[in-house]
Structure 1
Amino acid sequence: MLSDLAKKVLYGSGLLGLYHRLRNRRTLTVIMFHRVLDPVDPRWASCDPDYTLDAGLLERCLAFFRRHYRLVSVDDVLAARREGRALPARALLVTFDDGWSDNVDFALPRLARAGVPGLLFVVADVIGRRLAFFQERLVGALRLGKLRVADLAAALPSSEPAVEGIGGLRRVIGRLESLDEESRERVLAPFATAMDDGLRHMVVAGELRTLENGGIAIGLHGKTHTPMTRVNDLDAELGGARRAVAPHLSDGRAPVTMSFPHGRYDAAIAARAREAGYELVFTSDPVLNPTDPQPGWLLGRVGFEQAGIVDARGRFRADHLALLLFRTRRTRLVKD
């Protein structure tokens, strides 16, 4: 492990930047974000900290990207696929998953000021819905002091000892995810009040056009947010999601890009997505994508938690982000 001082010296000296310019010249880095919030926003108190970035840190990340990469739009990547146009050296695309309303409030203005295009993958069924996904609502209830993990675990069909705290809750959430929807709703019903913080978390239809007008393209993240390895109707999650979202977009056309909910997929599901009309399919596989002679249609993305890019006092550390991104494995996920 590199010492803290060594990390600072490597980055400050320019050696890490030189390594990146040489190693990653012919790659496309795709960044995966979820929520972006200002800590003064009331939604901060109930958000999932593992999937939420302080808005001020997003600004620092965007400045870092502009320094070390050439920012591209999804249209640039599509043109590289369709027409053979070369992407710039060290290309980078910024993406967001799920369809959080805070992306409109906090991410959009910061991307616009920095001149950075983006791509939002929205879950079709959350458009116009106030409540977040059940996983995030449970995390919010725990953070607000409205939920005991032991009580939730005891409500499961086969009760097991539970550990209080976020780690114990995530294990219980994993067990909830394995249930069918009807059984899960039955378990969660007694906790409905605790799981509602009274705030709106998801986008409404008009906000999708606001995002488009601000330079953020819209893609799909499934219809229901169910992992595609577990859905009963894959056609609804793929083609059905496209049909549902198209009327909400400025040109009325169905999106041609998507990412997999929870990052779960297999080769057959990826092939079905392509058959359903998606020209670019994004995974959560943490890899850099080669761009010679052109990027592939199945692309990896790199995500990171806020804790991984700050020091003990919460200050942004460019060297931490550089060490994370510059050394990420390069591979083509599938051959055309």
Structure 2
Amino acid sequence: MGVLVEDIVVPLVWVEDRPWYLREPYRFKRIEATLRLYPYLVVHYYVHDEMRLQGTGELLDSVTDEGYIVYDCYTGRRVGDKRLREALSNLSLEAVREFTFDCKSYRVEAVEPRISKSVLLQKAKLEIANRLTLKAKHKLSTGEVKTYSRRVRPEKVRIVRARLIKLPIWRVTYWTRGSFTYERIYLGTDGTVLKDDMEKCLFCKSSASSFPPFSLISKPKQTNYLCEACGAAICRDHAIRCSVCGKYFCPKHSIRCIECGEGFCINHAPQYICRVCGGVLCQNDYRICAVCGQAVCPRDSVACENCGRIVCKDHAIRGRKHLFKKIYFCSQRCKEEYYSR
């Protein structure tokens, strides 16, 4: 049945590097780390089976297959995650049997197998055999064509090697700023990330969940920045760069000028608010109403047809030119002067 190697603990890799997708040198604080030694059974198998015609022994079909199948020794389920399966299958046969763990900075949890190796090996043979099929057609002497089909026999599945591996899996919680914390789960063998809460933009996720018709086709984009105020993971489209301090913020902690779109953080937000629409205006785009003296945006302000002064639409007096064209005045006096010419 092959050599059974038990209780292999593979070499340990600790990854503290900043995620590759972040474009700024953010600092991270590790607030919790757990190393789980999780048991997996890695089965290397080889299959060869033949279908022959009864009586003559003529070969009708054959199948040959070789590969790996991996089982979770705690649940008994076959491992479907491709990254995890490949990592386990590619581990060196010269893996370290003992490893001294420094438990001062993190917790170690050793998960014991609940499913025996013999049960999993029998399960592996059945599953491998059931997914391989032999098919053939044979013409009889009567001219009739007969079709043959059967599964591979479990006894034809040979176990080349079966290894019970205690795979180190890191579960690390980080804090960056604000109220957000992120969890990363990665393999202690080579740092392969299995789960990363920070990897996808949180605002893309909330937008997709708010519109069910679009959630089926809209996928959250890659995170590029972290909000300097709250620490939220944001993509390039949802990140707003403050034109004063140069840092990046999420939509909840930033604002844009309604005229030019220039971004600002809450601390550096302009003080000019349009009295008509309530939008924020930067220093280059605000206007002052000649009547009320308050800030107003270009879209909600007009120039007096008589004197040229700027006035908000709330205080503008309407008039007409050539019967059809609308014109505006800052006061009744300007209107009377204009029409008295």
Report the TM-score range of the alignment, normalised by the length of the smaller protein: under 0.3
Higher relative contact order (CA 8 A, sep 6+): 1
More strand by share: 2
- Compute the TM-score of the two structures, normalised by the length of structure 2: 0.18
* Larger-Rg structure: 2
